[in-house]
Amino acid sequence: MLSFWMETRKILEDADHYLMPTYSRFPLVLRKGRGAKVWDIHGREYLDFLGGIAVNVLGHCHPKVVIAIQKQAQRLIHVSNLYYIEPQVRLAKLLVTNSFADKAFFCNSGAEANEAAIKIARKYSADKYGPDRFEIISAMDSFHGRTIATLTATGQTKFQKGFEPMLTGFSHVPFNDIAALRAAITPKTCAVILEPIQAEGGINMPSADYLRQVRGLCDEKDLLLIFDEVQTGMGRTGKLFGYEHYGMQPDIMSLAKGLGGGVPIGAMLATDRVAVAFSPRTHASTFGGNPLVCAAAIATVETLLEDGFILDQCNRMSAYLFERLGHLKKEYHEKVIDVRGKGLLIGMELMRDGMPYVQACMDRGVLIGLAGNGSVLRFTPPLIIEEREIDHLIDVMEEVLERVP
Ligand SMILES: *Cc1c(COP(=O)(O)O)cnc(C)c1O
């Protein structure tokens, strides 16, 4: 036991010594995962209701993903995009046939997928209207990534502080305010970028008709509508893509997080009308859509779609988790303000900072996250989560709500 503690301490010390301090990490070293469970280096078990922040849609080390990676690793790991890559073509076909989109571009992260979306929107507009129409409107409290362009699009100044100046050509409007969006459109506007459900910003839901109204406004003004589905995509909300809930479609969609079942891959999808804006040498990525990650993503998407079983499971477990969290909200109404979300993207807003609750859950072997200004507990478990695992979470949450002031 002691030697394990020493091992943990050594890893923490080396991390402090050799890694840039970009994360305020919990003193926990995870070494193994299966399904919705992970184990630290002491062998202590944790129930993972954070799921790699909405990445591990199929849970940890799903056998289909593991085997796909193993097989592909033995065959071919990387070749240049100067040649045709079989798994990349198959993955594009799979995503296109199951979405509004006609074409896909592959990259390596959510921020890069949004970069590609921003670039193709500007290029489309430049080709059609000339160079003066390049502005993009996004929502306050949105999160689109950490590169300079996606950071500029992000509607939260706390992420931008110290990195100014931001890029020109972006403005922000309140989410769910169609009048504000209309008022923000200028002759220079080319696109609107939104998360259908704002995830990092606090699990903020779109109001009844908002997204359809945005679609209508974009059609009226010939603006491209970009949906950042990096977090809401890949079954997270109970449908393969978030937009499917809202009776409308975007022109461009970015994906990442759950797409590769854990391996780093991003995608930008668009209709043919938009996709023609990219031609050879307009955009590229060395690693984008490489054979290894595409094999993992194919296994992930195919498993998600197989008989709809996993989406069904996600929806059943979502209903159950909402019911149980709803009871907790009633029981602890002096501490819990709201429970909201869709599918297995769920937030529980508290009266106060949520960190002590996250910490108390971890002490009891359950991993959860935070969103928004820190007062929203975030639950993004694997979509294969089971009822008894939710029961376990609720037992722990009940105790934590009881004990933490
Ligand atoms: C996580 C996230 C991103 C950024 O993805 P990275 O892979 O970290 O670059 C962008 N948009 C949304 C909605 C996200 O949740």
Condensed to tens digits (0 to 9), the pLDDT of residues 29-63 reads: 999 999 999 999 999 999 999 999 999 999 999 99
CA dist., res. 176 & res. 194, Å (int):
10
pLDDT of res. 100:
98
Alpha carbon 219 to its chain centroid, in Å, reads 26
Q: Taking residues 221-229, report their average pLDDT.
A: 99
d(C-alpha 122, C-alpha 128), whole Å: 10
Q: Are 138 and 170 in contact (CB under 8 A)?
A: yes
Closest C-alpha to ligand 1, atom 8: 110
97-123 pLDDT, tens digit each: 999 999 999 999 999 999 999 999 999
pLDDT in tens, 251-300: 999 999 999 999 999 999 999 999 999 999 999 999 999 999 999 999 99
Structural domains in the chain plus CATH codes: 2-61+308-403 (3.90.1150.10), 63-307 (3.40.640.10)
CA of 150 to the centre of ligand 1 (A): 9
With cut-offs at 50, 70 and 90, classify the pLDDT of residue 2. low
| Atom of ligand 1 minimally distant from the CA of 200 | 15
d(C-alpha 168, C-alpha 164), whole Å: 11
* Cα of 258 from ligand 1 centre, angstroms: 11
- How long a stretch of residues is the chain? 405
* Ligand 1 lined by 342 (C-beta under 6 Å): no
The rounded Å distance from CA 75 to ligand 1 centre is 30
Going by alpha carbons, the residue nearest to atom 6 of ligand 1 is 110
> CA-to-CA distance for 189 and 132, rounded, in angstroms?
9
* 353 alpha carbon – ligand 1 mean position (Å): 23
pLDDT at 147 over 90: yes
Task: Name which of 141, 146, 129, 143 is nearest 177 in CA terms.
Answer: 141
Dihedral (CA of 190, 196, 199, 205) sign: positive
Check if 231 has its Cβ closer than 6 Å to any atom of ligand 1: yes
Question: Is 80 exceeded by the pLDDT of residue 4?
Answer: no
Token pair 């689109």 in the structure block, residue: 144
Compute the distance from residue 144 Cα to the ligand 1 centre, in Å: 6
Contact 205, 340 (CB under 8 A): yes
33 C-beta closer than 6 A to ligand 1: no
pLDDT band at 21 (very low <50, low <70, confident <90, very high): very high
Give the Å distance between the CA of 112 and the centre of ligand 1.
Answer: 9
| Average predicted confidence (pLDDT) for the chain | 97
- Strands (E) in 237-288, as ranges, are 252-255, 266-270
Task: Tell me if 149 CB under 6 Å of ligand 1.
Answer: no
